[in-house]
Amino acid sequence: MYVTMISRDDGFGGQFQGFIWAIVIYETANYIYVHKPITNMAHNYNNDNDFINNIEDLMNIRKNYICINSLSNEEKINLNKHEIYDLRKTFDNNVDYYLESSSFKNLKTNFWKNKEKDYFKNNKINVAVHVRRPNSHDNRIEGTDTPDSYYLNIINIIRNKYKNNNECLIFHIYSQGNEENFNNYKNNDIILHINENLCNTFLGLVSANILVTSGSSLSYTAALLSYGEIYYKQFWHPPSKEWINCG
């Protein structure tokens, strides 16, 4: 039986996360996932006409799964649609089971097919830190109110952990807002990536040797697809057993 996911209009992290849920849950249950391409997505701040197409290329789902446009009219009529809440609850209650599934491993392989894992190309230990801050398309407070001290403490923990190799550490701070609000982070081993292109931001997060997440689906989804060490910020989606839970 063919199944898909209901359309959404929220941000990239939430929508990509939803596609991951649908693919691995339905395939593990022996359904056939059908990809319904994105039609609306928040955070296109510059009204870029290629925004959604670039996002589809970044996810790399439409080239590796059946697309709804390839189905016959009869198949489309019989296509099952499921509520996103059911997917979320199922995945969250069984995170490690699904992350260890052949479906997720295949999805992760497909994601990396059109990307280089050596994104930074600097022969360093690259640490991506996602500092979620308010933006013009999202007024949610939770997740944006984590103080700088939380991230700076983890940065120092990582510095100490790799103290014998400190000269090879580079921290990349990914966030939004006015750059002067990030003066606390400025250091010789830190590069600020403020208000950068969304695709480049996600590639930086997912490609890093070490990823520090925020209370955000953007960095949470990057953590799911990452091959790096994950420092997890607790929020409403639970961590993998392989991650370092920072509370």
Q: Is 118 a member of any domain? A: no
Domain boundary residue, one of 87, 112, 137: 112
pLDDT digits (tens, 9 = 90+) for 28-79: 999 999 999 999 988 777 788 999 999 999 999 999 999 998 888 867 766 7
- For residues 135 and 214, membership in a common domain is answered with yes
Helix axes 12-28, 84-92, angle to 10 degrees: 70
Mark whether 48 and 132 lie in a shared domain.
Answer: no
Alpha-carbon separation of residue 223 from 54, 74, 136, 209, 216 (angstroms): 20, 38, 25, 11, 11
| 159 and 52 within one domain | no
What is the signed CA dihedral for 100, 105, 111, 117, rounded to 10 degrees?
80
> Of all helices (H) and strands (E), which one includes residue 15?
helix 12-28
130 and 235 share a domain? Answer: yes
Helices 51-59 and 12-28, axial angle in degrees (round to 10): 40
The CATH number of the domain holding residue 147 is 3.40.50
What does the alpha-carbon distance between residue 188 and residue 185 come to, in Å, rounded to a whole number? 10
% of residues, the chain, pLDDT over 90: 75
Q: Are residues 169 and 201 in the same domain?
A: yes
Beta strands in the chain (DSSP E): 2-5, 32-35, 66-67, 80-82, 125-130, 169-175, 190-194, 210-212, 229-232, 244-245
- Do 68 and 107 have their domain in common? yes
How far apart are the two ends of the chain, measured CA to CA in Å? 40
Q: What is the pTM of this model?
A: 0.92
Residue 119 belongs to some domain of the structure: no
Tell me if 129 is assigned to some domain: yes
pLDDT in tens, 194-239: 999 999 999 999 999 999 999 999 999 999 999 999 999 999 999 9
Task: Determine the length of the chain.
Answer: 247
Same domain, 31 and 139: no
Mean of pLDDT over the chain: 91
Rounded to an integer, the average pLDDT of 116-129 is 96
Domain membership of residue 180 (yes or no) is yes
Residue type, 184: N
**Exposed / middle / buried, residue 208 (Cβ in 10 Å: 0-12, 13-18, 19+):** buried
Q: Are residues 107 and 202 in the same domain?
A: no
Q: Tell me the C-alpha distance between 44 and 164, whole Å.
A: 42
The closest alpha carbon to 211, from 107, 131, 146, 115, belongs to 131
Residue 120 lies in a domain: no
Do residues 43 and 8 share a domain?
A: yes
Pair (103, 198) in one structural domain: no
Spatial neighbors of 178 by CB under 8 A, at least 6 apart, are: none
Q: How many domains does the chain have?
A: 2
- Which residues form the domain of 97? 2-112
Number of neighbours of residue 57 by Cβ within 10 angstroms:
15
Residue 117 lies in a domain: no
The answer to whether residues 107 and 133 belong to one domain is no
Query: Which residue matches tokens 């799964």?
Result: 65
Rounded to 5 degrees, φ, ψ at 108 are -65, -40
Q: Do 136 and 235 have their domain in common?
A: yes
